[in-house]
Amino acid sequence: MTLTSVAPAIKRQPTRTAEIPVLPAVDVNLGAVTFFTPTGYHAYYSPEPGELIAALDRAVRPAAWIPEIGTLVVTVAQNGVRAGRRLGFRLSAY
């Protein structure tokens, strides 16, 4: 009689993408969004610069850049939600 052992399944915790706090500069006319990160200067295009500026005006936390998905996240106040509401803006390279 042979015994076979099966390795138990390994549960991996979902990894959270690293957010880099940034201070973006937005050009409303051109849709250009620029900011500095520890890796250097970055310049991107936003198809909705007006909405991005409105969100930055109402921000309750620093904006965060998530390079893995190319998204700038801005947290704005929301009634009844202590942590606020996170708005994501997809930025594309020039």
Per-domain residue ranges for the chain?
20-93
Residue 16 is predicted with a pLDDT of 67
What is the spatial distance between Cα 33 and Cα 6, in angstroms, rounded to a whole number? 52
> Would you state the pLDDT for residue 13?
65
For 53, list phi and psi in degrees, rounded to 5.
-65, -40
| Mean pLDDT by groups of 10 residues along the chain of 94 residues | 61 74 96 95 96 96 96 95 94 91
